[in-house]
Amino acid sequence: MTTHDKWIALKTIAIKEILRFSRIWVQTILPPVMTTALYFIIFGNLIGPRIGEMEGFGYMEFIIPGLIMMAVITNSYSNVVSSFYGSKFQRHIEEMLISPIPNYIILIGFLTGGVARGLMVGIAVTVVSLLFNPLNVHSIPVMFSMIILTAILFSLAGLINGVYANSFDDISIVPTFVLTPLTYLGGIFYSISMLPDFWQSASLLNPILYMVNAFRYGFLGISDISLLISYGISIGFIVVLYVFCLYLLRKGHGIRT
């Protein structure tokens, strides 16, 4: 397979993945936008003014980056896990497995779908946030790079979940019992400087904290964590998960007999 053939194969998978979630936008794009709008109304508009300032910013301004990031994390993850598990369940993953496409192209194709949905939802949530608060922009490169890295990371995590899942229950266990708690405890609604020392240290074990803080830096120019460490941890996780995903595809775990 030539490089050109691989590029076409990648485009095909990417288009297929993007069309998949776009066709069912009422299930994939609209719900996270609605949910986040409710967060803006309740935490931002109704409760926020009573909370007062956070790190020198209004509460609404403080939580907007975290809420965008939360939408990106959950949607990039759930897109890949449901798409990959669906392709296993209906067995149309076999279409790719019998073809000459290398595993890394299959992997990048699924990631493209996850990142596209994550970004699409992220943009939609950002637009909705404008109804409640003007957008603060401190560093566009940090904003974009961190949101893309986060979408890639959680797309990879979603694929691993999809590979190991044997039922539809298995694709909801990790998002419900791992991803959601880590996201809520990842500094979306508060600065970790407010926490007692022990919980500050415990929070540092949560990788989502680093992404939320770096992303918030892109908006507000503030972060509980060094930007360099945030990038290092994000890229490090991506490399490890990417290699692990390739290993799973090569071994055919859950997809080959």
Residue 98 as a binder of other proteins (CB under 8 A): the answer is: yes
- Give least dist CB 71 to other proteins, A: 24
Dihedral (Cα; 99, 116, 218, 209), 10-degree rounding: -70
Alpha-carbon distance of 170 to 177, in angstroms, equals 11
Nearest residue (CB) to other proteins, 162 versus 186: 162
- Axis-axis angle for helices 140-164, 227-251 (nearest 10): 30
Which amino acid makes up residue 151? A
Report the DSSP beta bridge partners of residue 57.
Answer: 54
- Give least dist CB 107 to other proteins, A: 14
Nearest residue (CB) to other proteins, 12 versus 206: 12
Dihedral (Cα; 114, 116, 118, 119), 10-degree rounding: 160
Alpha-carbon distance of 153 to 130, in angstroms, equals 27
Residue 107 as a binder of other proteins (CB under 8 A): the answer is: no
What is the distance of C-alpha 232 from the center of its chain? 17
Instruction: Say if residues 107 and 187 touch (Cβ distance below 8 Å).
Output: no
Residue 195 as a binder of other proteins (CB under 8 A): the answer is: no
* Cα Rg of the chain (Å, integer): 19
Q: Which of 50, 90, 198, 205 binds other proteins (CB under 8 A)?
A: 90
Instruction: Say if residues 145 and 119 touch (Cβ distance below 8 Å).
Output: no
- Give least dist CB 32 to other proteins, A: 21
Nearest residue (CB) to other proteins, 151 versus 159: 159
Residue 5 as a binder of other proteins (CB under 8 A): the answer is: yes
DSSP E strands in the chain: the ranges are 53-54, 57-58
Per-residue binding letters, 22-61, with other proteins (x by CB under 8 A): -x--------------------------------------
Q: Which of 95, 135, 181, 235 binds other proteins (CB under 8 A)?
A: 95
Q: Which of 100, 181, 232, 236 binds other proteins (CB under 8 A)?
A: 100
- Give least dist CB 126 to other proteins, A: 29
- Give least dist CB 15 to other proteins, A: 8
Which residues form the interface with other proteins (CB under 8 A)? Answer: 1-2, 4-6, 8-9, 11-13, 15-16, 19-20, 23, 86-87, 90-92, 94-102, 252, 256-257
